[in-house]
Structure 1
Amino acid sequence: MSDDSVTIVVPEPHFTLFNGQRDDLPEVVVVNDALLSFEHTEMFSWHLEVTLHAVELVDNGMPSPDESLLLFQMGDKIEQSIVGHNGIFLARSTWNGFRQLAFRVHDPEVADPTLQALLESEQNRFWEFKMQHDAEWREAGFYFQLFQLASGNNS
């Protein structure tokens, strides 16, 4: 190990569930609240948003139980390819026929080809992703503000 190596300890994930509404439709959001106190945000300066398109929907645009299981399986496969040395799971949202997965990424040049290869492999549902540089974690702020809204803090 060289003298200029740094070891970053990523906190064990801990999840908070939010049941809410967006555009008068139900939304279920799970946020990795361990990242609220993560001190090395500069190491994961890229925001990755993956959107899975659900097909079998029930009331209010939510996926059927079988569809939800399929989306979880696809999401787990995507998560396994990102999380670890190159990415951190941030949040999952289910709303209006979509399952969105949010990650923080260290190196986009590692994540992009991995995701492209997954896109080219056989998938049961259409999905897409976008990754953007976000050194200030502004994109994560949408998820983090849920904690203030849930506690009634408007500051």
Structure 2
Amino acid sequence: MTERRVRIVAPEPHYTLFDSTRNDLPEIIVVNDALLAFQHHEIFPWHLEINIQAEELVERGMPSPDESKLLLEIGDMIESAIEGKNALFLARSTWDGLRQLSFRVHDPELANDTLQSLLADKPNTRFWEYRMHHDPEWQEAGYIFSLFPLANGPDG
């Protein structure tokens, strides 16, 4: 019996920035809008959300400029460790003292092992945690994708 392989090419990331509100607090969210047209949801059926706790906050729960820079460095370190063949970057959100990173994941065990290794090996300058759950219909991405009619009007 021959083994059949299918090669899926993830779309080149393209980002859209939104200024929004969540629970009456300001939110800044960057979305990889290339995933709007991604057809192979079944290959990345797991939703991963990483929360990084900010410490130096200014107005209405937003991080100071220095804190924002640090959160970006931590997020980039996490993203570079898990992204690639196993995970697709979905969004980065900042609100209410949190930096939230959202990904779509193919192999949850590999992502979990990588994140556990990061938590154990790297000196953490900020507390961070993650949760991952099976979401084959991409319902968790629905909130993020629902921002696009706001950017393009009701017919966008």
TM-score norm. by structure 2 comes to 0.94
Are 1:64 and 2:64 matched, yes or no?
Answer: yes
Taking the aligned partners of 1:93 and 1:109, their CA distance within structure 2 comes to 25
Taking the aligned partners of 1:153 and 1:136, their CA distance within structure 2 comes to 23
Match of 1:85 in 2: 85
Are 1:108 and 2:108 matched, yes or no?
Answer: yes
Identity %: 60
**1:148 deviation in Å?**
1.7
Match of 1:139 in 2: 140
How many pairs were matched up? 154
Taking the aligned partners of 1:114 and 1:23, their CA distance within structure 2 comes to 32
Taking the aligned partners of 2:23 and 2:145, their CA distance within structure 1 comes to 19
Are 1:149 and 2:150 matched, yes or no?
Answer: yes
Q: Deviations over 1:46-96 (max 9, x none)?
A: 000000000001111111111111100100011011110100000000001
**1:154 deviation in Å?**
8.1
Give secondary structure in 2 for the equivalent of 1:72: helix
Taking the aligned partners of 1:24 and 1:131, their CA distance within structure 2 comes to 26
Taking the aligned partners of 1:87 and 1:32, their CA distance within structure 2 comes to 13
**1:3 deviation in Å?**
4.3
**1:22 deviation in Å?**
1.4
TM-score norm. by structure 1 comes to 0.95
Q: Deviations over 1:116-149 (max 9, x none)?
A: 1111231100000000000000000010000023
- What's the C-alpha RMSD, in Å, of the aligned pairs? 1.4
Q: Deviations over 1:9-39 (max 9, x none)?
A: 0000000000011122110000000000001
Match of 2:99 in 1: 99
**1:150 deviation in Å?**
2.9
Structure 2 unmatched runs, 5+? none
Match of 2:18 in 1: 18
